[in-house]
Amino acid sequence: MDKSWIESDDRALTIYMSGVQSFLDFMLSGKESEGPNDDTKKFFRLMEEAEVELYPGCKNFSKLLFIVRLLQEKVINGWTDKSVDKLLNSFSLVLPEGSRVPASYYEAKKITEDLGFTSQKIDACPNNCMLFRDEDNLRETFEICGASRYRDRDRNISAKHMKSFPLKPRLQKLFMSSKTASLMR
C-alpha cells in the first residue's frame, strides 16, 4: 500500500483524501476481530470531523475547531449549558443553509469527549485530608478527620470536590498519530 499521502501537509489534496480512504478500506476490509478497535474508530471519526467545513465555503473553521472554541468560551466565561444551547440555535439560524453547527450543547460535548478532554469529579474532604476514590468511594465519613462527606446528605451534595484529568487517555491520543508520536521523543 502506498503511504506517501501520510506526509502530505495539504489535507485538501486529492492524494491525501484517497490515501485516507484506501487506508480506511484496508483497515475495515479484514475480519471483524482484526479490525480497528473502538479508540481507533473514534480517532478516525475525529479526523473526519476536523476536515468537515463548518458551512459550505467556510475555509477558516472546521466543525471540530468551532466546537472546541465554543466550549473553551463556555468555560472561560462561565456560560450555562442552556445558554450554549440558545447560542447554537442562534448560529443555526444565522449561518447559511447546510451548516454543520451542533443542535445542542450535549451534541457538541459528545463529539469532544472522544478527544480525551474529559475530567472525573472526585469528592474530597473539606479539611483536605483525603479523597474518596477506589476503595474509599463508598465511605460516608472521612477516615482521618471524621468529617461528613456530604454537605446535604438528602441530595448527596458533596462538601468539597476536585477535578481529575486522567493522563493515560491523553497520551494514547498523542501516540495514535505518527507525527505527534515522533515529537514526543
Q: Give the whole-angstrom CA distance, residue 22 versus residue 93.
A: 37
Q: 122: part of which helix (H) or strand (E)?
A: strand 120-124
Report pLDDT for 32. 47
Res 133 pLDDT > 80:
no
CA distances (Å), origin 12, targets 19, 39, 119, 131, 162:
12, 25, 33, 48, 42
Q: State the pLDDT confidence band at 91, using cuts at 50, 70 and 90.
A: very high
Extract the C-alpha cell encoding 6. 501520510
pLDDT confidence of residue 58: 87
Write the pLDDT tens digit of every residue in 146-162. Answer: 788 788 777 778 888 88
pLDDT digits (tens, 9 = 90+) for 43-61: 777 778 778 888 888 888 8
Of all helices (H) and strands (E), which one includes residue 90? helix 81-94
Q: Measured in Å, how far apart are the chain's first and last C-alpha atoms?
A: 27
Q: Is 65 helix (H, G, I), strand (E, B) or coil?
A: helix
This model's pTM is above 0.75: no
- Please provide the average confidence, as pLDDT, over all residues in the chain: 79
Q: How confident is the model at residue 31 (pLDDT cuts 50, 70, 90)?
A: very low
Percent of the chain at pLDDT > 70 equals: 83
